[in-house]
């Protein structure tokens, strides 16, 4: 058995209740105890293997959690009803009133809004910095910093965290290093390079069928137990519980993640290279022109590739919108947020998934209003797709020249 996470997922052997090749789905919110004593012991956390109530955990959620722990090479994992459920529970589990967080300034807009607008109500402050700049992180750390928070591949600017360097800063300051790995499952395992907690929105590549919302935290057994503690655990007490039926269907989709990630990566690499060669402003970690190309290459499982997300900066919002509408019209994908679908999804980040970030701050971080984020699909023949995309873009550009519309 190799250490490759794809092999780890493949090697899992779960039997259903009646010998089925898939584990049975647990269809109960509550569980019986043979004795009253075993019930009270379970509530005190002393009885291994007993289920008490499905908000705490359920067999189906445990199957999915153990597969995700294998994928991320962590001791344990637990699943949530959404990625935001995983993020908010983790942050509140780690930080108390009076604590401080240093976070990447290019993160998912919902996470940014939670850190910026909600946490101050609980006396927790966040300093946002460029996470590709370790000096900036060091400068922002204060004596009360409890957490360094960033995304492996940041949303939407695709900045890459240098895990080893950032984890060193965290260790030196007794802070927890929390990484959102939603954009890059299987590409690398941040826990191998010093991340204490690895978070996923399962809604994206891991589930891959854009039919459900879910999240996960992969971490030490101690941290996962803390999250589930009946008295103080935020997974238990905030109640962001994933339904067993959804957990079972995500587990089935997880099994095809390695081949899906390879295809997403191959397709994105091809499109990024072609559009860059045509002179478009493309950002993709697999391009040599990407500022952190060498850093990500050090951490990567090369057979998985550089992932399915690329951006093209069309400079103005009007032009970006016209191109996206044309692409949808030509059946080249959907004008929709989210990632990891079999069809390409595209959105202008500044007015969608990063709209929580003020225009001024967007400008400061280099997020242009015309930046389009593409989650490249599983297109069977990407060369044909490229020709069609190029034609759709050129159609809009030609229209622009012949009309009075100013892009």
Q: List b or e across 227-264, with b for residues whose CB sees 16 or more CB atoms inside 10 angstroms.
A: bbeeeebbbbbbebbbbbebbbbbbebbeebbebbbbb
Q: Closest CB to ligand PLP among 162 and 180?
A: 180
Check if the beta carbon of residue 239 is closer than 8 Å to that of residue 53: no
- Distance, in Å, from the CA atom of 400 to the CA atom of 154, rounded to the nearest integer, reads 32
> Which residues have a Cβ under 8 Å from the Cβ of 221 and sit 6 or more positions away?
75, 76
Q: Residue 88 is inside which H or E element, if any?
A: helix 83-94
Structure-block tokens of residue 258: 């390695």
Residue 76 sits at φ, ψ, to 5 deg, of -155, 175
The phi and psi torsions of 67 (rounded to 5 degrees) equal -65, -40
Q: Where along the sequence are the contacts to ligand PLP (CB under 6 A)?
A: 82-84, 108, 110-111, 151, 155, 180, 182-183, 201, 203, 213, 215, 353
The DSSP secondary structure of 9-28, one letter per residue, reads: HHH-----TTS-SSPPPP--
Which residue minimizes CB distance to ligand PLP? 83
Report in angstroms how near the CB of residue 383 gets to ligand PLP at its nearest: 29
Nearer to ligand PLP, 99 or 180 (CB): 180
> Closest approach of Cβ 154 to ligand PLP, in Å?
8
CB closer to ligand PLP, 23 vs 159: 159
Q: How far is the CB of 215 from ligand PLP (least distance, A)?
A: 5
d(CA 324, CA 335): 6
| Cβ atoms < 10 Å from Cβ of 363 | 12
Sign of the four-CA dihedral 392, 394, 400, 403: negative
Which stretches does DSSP call E strand in 167-263? 176-180, 197-201, 215-219
Minimum CB separation from ligand PLP for residue 84, in Å? 4
Task: State the residue for tokens 């590409």.
Answer: 187
* Shortest Cβ 107–ligand PLP spacing (Å): 7
Least distance from ligand PLP to the Cβ atom of residue 209, Å: 14
The CB-of-360 to ligand PLP minimum distance in angstroms stands at 22
Cis peptide before 156 (omega within 30 of 0): yes
Closest contact distance (angstroms) between CB of 213 and ligand PLP is 5
Q: Which is nearer to ligand PLP, 94 or 326 (CB)?
A: 94
Q: Which is nearer to ligand PLP, 110 or 190 (CB)?
A: 110
């Amino acid at each position: 058995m190799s250490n490759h996470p794809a092999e780890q997922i493949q090697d899992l052997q779960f039997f259903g209740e009646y010998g089925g090749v898939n584990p049975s789905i647990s269809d109960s919110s509550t569980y019986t105890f043979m004795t009253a004593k075993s019930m009270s012991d379970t509530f005190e956390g002393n009885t291994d293997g007993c289920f008490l109530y499905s908000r705490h955990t359920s067999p189906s959620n445990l199957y999915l959690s153990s597969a995700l722990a294998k994928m991320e090479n962590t001791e344990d994992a637990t699943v949530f009803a959404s990625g935001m459920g995983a993020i908010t529970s983790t942050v509140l589990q780690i930080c108390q009133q009076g604590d401080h967080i240093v976070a990447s300034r290019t993160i998912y807009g919902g996470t940014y809004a939670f850190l910026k607008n909600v946490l101050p109500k609980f006396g927790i402050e966040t300093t946002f910095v460029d996470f590709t700049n370790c000096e900036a992180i060091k400068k922002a750390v204060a004596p009360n910093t409890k957490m360094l928070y960033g995304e492996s591949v940041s949303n939407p600017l695709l900045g890459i965290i240098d895990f080893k360097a950032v984890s060193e800063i965290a260790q030196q300051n007794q802070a927890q290093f929390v990484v959102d790995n939603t954009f890059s499952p299987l590409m690398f395992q941040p826990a191998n390079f010093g991340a204490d907690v690895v978070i996923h929105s399962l809604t994206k590549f891991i589930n891959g069928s854009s039919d459900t919302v879910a999240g996960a935290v992969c971490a030490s057994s101690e941290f996962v137990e803390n999250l589930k503690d009946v008295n103080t655990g935020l997974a238990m007490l905030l109640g962001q519980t994933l339904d067993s039926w959804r957990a079972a269907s995500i587990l089935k989709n997880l099994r095809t993640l390695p081949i899906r990630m390879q295809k997403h990566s191959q397709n994105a690499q091809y499109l990024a290279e072609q559009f860059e060669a045509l002179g478009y402003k493309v950002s993709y970690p697999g391009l040599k022109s990407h500022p952190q190309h060498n850093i990500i290459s050090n951490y990567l499982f090369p057979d998985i590739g550089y992932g399915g997300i690329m951006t093209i900066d069309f400079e103005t919002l009007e032009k970006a919108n016209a191109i996206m509408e044309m692409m949808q019209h030509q059946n080249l994908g959907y004008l929709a947020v989210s990632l990891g679908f079999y069809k390409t999804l595209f959105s202008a980040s500044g007015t969608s998934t990063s709209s929580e970030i003020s225009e001024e701050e967007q400008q400061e971080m280099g997020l242009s209003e015309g930046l389009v984020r593409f989650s490249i699909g599983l297109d069977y023949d990407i060369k044909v797709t490229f020709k069609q995309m190029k034609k759709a873009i050129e159609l809009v550009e030609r229209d622009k020249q012949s009309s009075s519309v100013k892009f």
